[in-house]
Amino acid sequence: MNQGLRQRLGNLGGLALALAVWTVYAVYFSPAQGWTFFFQLSVNGIILGSVYALIALGYSMVYGILKLLNFAHGDVYMIGSFIGFGVLTLLGGPLNPAIPVALLVFCMFVVAMLGSGLLGLAIERFAYRPLRDAPRIAPLISALGVAFFLENSALLLFGSQFRSYDGFELISYNGIHLGGDNGVFIQYLGVIVIVGAVLLMLALLGLVRWTRLGKAMRAVSFDREAAGMMGIDPDRVIAATFFIGSALAGAAGVMFGLLFSQIYHLMGFLAGLKGFTAAVVGGIGSIPGAMLGGLLVGLIESWARGYLNGNVSDLVVFGVLIGVMLVRPSGLLGTPALQKV
Amino acid sequence: MRKFVVAAALAAGVAVLATAAFGSTNSSSRTTSAASPATATVKCGKTRTIGMAAPYTGPAADIGNQQVRWAKYYVKRWNAQKANKNKQIKIVPGDTQLGVDTAFAVRVAKSFASNSKLLGVVGPAGSQEVVASTSAYKGGGLGFVSGSASRTSLTDGHTDGNRRGYFYRVVPNDAAQGPVVANWMTKKLKWKRVYIIDDQEAYSQGLATGVGKILSSRGVKVTHDSISQSDSDFSSKIAKIPSNTQGIYIPWQLAPQAQAFGQQLKAAGKSKIKLFGSDGLFAPGVWKIAGSYDSAFPYNPNDAGVKKYVSTHKGNGEFFGLPSYVAAQVVVGAVTKACANGTATRAEVRKLIAKTKLKTSILGFPVSFASTGEMHAPATYGVYQIQSNGSFKRIG
């Protein structure tokens, strides 16, 4: 067993222990709310975390391959949610859908993912590729510029009014009761989001592990120059990575709209930061790490909102980010950078 | 020696720059004061200009545009009168984007202040916007009359700064709204367990605290929590709300947020718990959770102007914006009087706003101002209930 793997397993063990201690505390030593409350918050957290995980994957993939923090990624997610909303509106809206609801939702996801993916391609082609060999600060600044460009473009195109998906009206207010009527309740919409996110993540894992493109992505991530010498076209692989990461962000945007109804031009900023936090906590560059980080951020946010009065969830989430960085600078499933001496 | 020379050169350079900067500041301030729009005399001409500070876009655009339409409705009626042929009014719009950032309201105030033709302002809408933009309005010497900023401390002269002589409002303050809400909850609805959630803005926290205190003093079990205006996921907050809670008080400003909250409450299987909003959520068609309650400004439904507005808007009275009609009436009245001799200053307009005496108004009562900027003896708030078609029906 190599040292990196041992360290990752150790991190996972530590995380499992911390979660177990917290669960026992929340269930047995928090009598005011009890176990149902804890598990309800956990379910809510997993649903929210699924969205964050999809956003985090884009950050992680791009960082893994380019060592670039793509701060425009949160705004790609925002554009994705608007594309989904556009499809919903074009096809009759939530109250009078012109086609069967399942087909409508499918169309929303497909078009939003395609649109966001193409946007990701365009961003890579025009904002990052020309700066490929520039100092690392240059693409970072370019990423910030793209983020503002997208936010203000959305403001011009869609206005700054909130748009409402009315996801519950479209799909259903009903759901599944676990543990009786007073037990944990999961809306069908929540189930769709979790299942959708898991399927997308598994598809991504499969793509990276078992396809030629995935192999090429891993090769470019490991050493771009060497991969180029082996006949891989790094530009195409990087473009494909942007497309896939952005498409996942588009799917996350639609999921968010369906779940929480409100979308607006500035929604990408905080969600992007949370996705970035998830990617860093999980170990930026690691796909399973991004998924784990997303779920963890969602859970922590949900627990903080439930157990703490006021609105301090962001304080807790970003506090955890700082804590993880201090204890495990490479994240829970990240590989520590080797220092050549 | 070289170090000494470099240091001396640097010191000399700094001194020259400082002198130049000081000189230029003085000269520019002299220029500014000589031509300052705050004190300048404006030739009124046939068209006089007033500002309209409201959220034209942004999350509160719905209620903002109601205000704009009502203010424009007044100006349109004014301009249509033959007697006012040579006293036309022009509105300059200023988008404050309430709910995004108060910096927008400050920018609007600054642009109004620097517009030398502008004599008075209707708005802004939010109490936090009033707090943020007061210094810009005061700096420009502009009087501003809000049709919705109801935070009580805006007019006390110290808590949120002193804006007396500049700021006026044509709505009752939250000190009047809180008791109406608490009375309705305890006396009409007989609620014993109430959950209060503020949105962390000054307006919301003031109302939440005020209502909470009254409810507690009457033996109601009150739980207080917060969300922020950028929140979309309320599932964890909703999970926390006990199922036997009778009502949730949400004195928020963003109707789409209240709508999303109501939908998530229903999705969590807690639709039996009633929502009670405040004037900031008086947005028929946007907040449409049937059965919810809302407190909002008074108005006279029998006034011919109100009836005409309602009929031309297909029955949707957009009553949140109605006080802005009166605010426009106050500002236009003051500007017109100040312009009686062909010229006016902003100081004159402010003085005349303070002296406003409307014997009747579409609010249903006379309007005149105390030195604080509050109306003398305004009528109190009404209580509305959201109907299944999304309309708001007055029930008290």
List of chain A residues whose C-beta atoms are within 8 Å of the C-beta of residue B243 = 182
Is B68 domain-assigned? yes
Q: ipTM value, please give it.
A: 0.82
Query: Do B59 and B160 belong to one domain?
Result: yes
CA closest to A181 among chain B residues: B269
- What does the DSSP 8-state code read for residue A163? E
Query: Do B180 and B168 belong to one domain?
Result: no
Q: Peptide bond before A336: cis, by omega within 30 degrees of 0?
A: no
The residue among A160, A181, A258 with the most chain B CBs within 10 A of its CB, best to mutate, is A160
Higher pLDDT, A247 or B26: A247
Is B10 domain-assigned? no
Query: Do B291 and B389 belong to one domain?
Result: yes
Average pLDDT, chain A: 89
Chain A residues whose C-beta is within 8 A of a chain B C-beta are 33, 37, 40-41, 44-45, 47-48, 159-162, 164, 166, 168-169, 173, 175, 182, 185, 187, 189, 256, 259-262, 264, 266-267, 270, 301-303, 305-306, 309-311
Query: Do B390 and B261 belong to one domain?
Result: yes
pLDDT, residue B57, reads: 81
Is B33 domain-assigned? no
Average pLDDT, chain B: 87
CA closest to A162 among chain B residues: B59
pLDDT in tens, A275-308: 999 999 998 888 889 999 999 999 999 999 888 8
pLDDT, residue B19, reads: 46
Is B26 domain-assigned? no
pLDDT, residue B20, reads: 44
- What does the DSSP 8-state code read for residue B281? G
Q: Which pLDDT band, with edges at 50, 70 and 90, does A180 fall under?
A: confident
Domain boundaries, chain A: 46-326
Q: At A46, which amino acid appears?
A: I
The residue among B195, B229, B232 with the most chain A CBs within 10 A of its CB, best to mutate, is B232
Query: Do B112 and B261 belong to one domain?
Result: no
Reduced DSSP (H G I as helix, E B as strand, rest coil) percent helix, strand, coil of chain A, to 5: 75, 5, 20
Query: Do B72 and B142 belong to one domain?
Result: yes
Is B331 domain-assigned? yes
- C-alpha–C-alpha distance, residues A335 and B266, integer Å: 44
pLDDT in tens, A79-134: 999 999 999 999 998 888 999 999 999 999 999 999 999 999 999 999 999 998 88
- C-alpha–C-alpha distance, residues A203 and A218, integer Å: 16
* Cβ contact, residue pair B239, A41, below 8 Å: yes
Query: Do B106 and B239 belong to one domain?
Result: no
Query: Do B104 and B149 belong to one domain?
Result: yes
Determine how many CB atoms are found less than 10 A away from the CB of residue B301: 12
Domain range spanning residue B213? 175-296+383-394
pLDDT, residue A340, reads: 52
CATH code of B134's domain: 3.40.50.2300
- C-alpha–C-alpha distance, residues B22 and B194, integer Å: 60
CB A120 within 8 A of CB A242: yes
Query: Do B256 and B336 belong to one domain?
Result: no
Query: Do B120 and B131 belong to one domain?
Result: yes
Query: Do B193 and B274 belong to one domain?
Result: yes
What's the CATH code, domain A46-326?
A: 1.10.3470
State the total domains in chain B. Answer: 2
- Sorted by sequence, the CB contacts under 8 Å of residue A110 that are 6+ apart come out as none
pLDDT, residue B353, reads: 97
Query: Do B187 and B314 belong to one domain?
Result: no
Q: Which residues in chain B come in under a pLDDT of 50?
A: 6, 10, 14, 16-34
pLDDT, residue B13, reads: 52
- C-alpha–C-alpha distance, residues A281 and A273, integer Å: 12
pLDDT, residue B7, reads: 53
